[in-house]
Amino acid sequence: MTSRLPITRAYKAPTDFDAAVFEDVDLFVHQILAASMAKGIPAIQDRVFRGCRINGPALLLPTRGTSFDDCNFGDPRGDINNLLFQPLGDRATGAVALLNCKFEGCEFSEVGFTGPTTFMDSMKAIGTKPRFGTLS
């Protein structure tokens, strides 16, 4: 697979926030979540993102079926832990759940991540490099 990174194209807004596939567009997490919630779904679910710029502010909670391939998670200022949030209890209240989503060649900006220990450990393994191969 040829990398889509870095994304150097001009800003391009999506035309349909209900789309199943987003390709080469710039979007804010709250726009996609609002479209899902309008249909009674309190999560971002069953979506594919290719070559997208995903913007916050947001805290994402990747769950079952969600994967990241060749993505840049943003500027961790030298430590990937700056992008990670560990819940103090057994819930991540306020986080935006991602169910069965695929991110391919995307760049994230102003987005934090939380999740189960296995996901957090995989993210921590990235170290100071916010770009990596595959994580699911």
Q: How does pLDDT run across 63-94, given as a tens digit for each residue?
A: 999 999 999 998 777 788 889 998 888 888 99
Does residue 118 belong to any structural domain of this protein? yes
**How many domains in the chain?**
1
- 100: left (phi > 0), else alpha (psi -120 to 50), else beta? left
Q: What percent of the chain has pLDDT over 70?
A: 92
Q: Which two tokens stand for residue 37?
A: 């919630």
Residue 90 domain-assigned?
Answer: yes
Residue 16: inside a domain: no
Q: What is the pTM of this model?
A: 0.90
In a domain, 32, yes or no: yes
CA 25 to chain centre: 14
Domain range for residue 107? 21-127
59 falls within a domain: yes
Residue 61 in domain: yes
- Rounded Cα distance, 36 and 43, in Å: 7
Tell me if 12 is assigned to some domain: no
Of the listed ranges 10-14, 57-61, 84-88, 110-114, the least confidently predicted one is 84-88
Query: Taking a C-beta distance cutoff of 8 angstroms, is the pair 133, 125 a contact?
Result: no
CA–CA dist 87, 100 (Å, integer) = 22
Work out the mean pLDDT of the chain and round it to a whole number. 90
Residue 134 lies in a domain: no
Query: Quick one: DSSP state of residue 135?
Result: E
**φ, ψ of residue 48 in degrees (nearest 5):** -120, 135
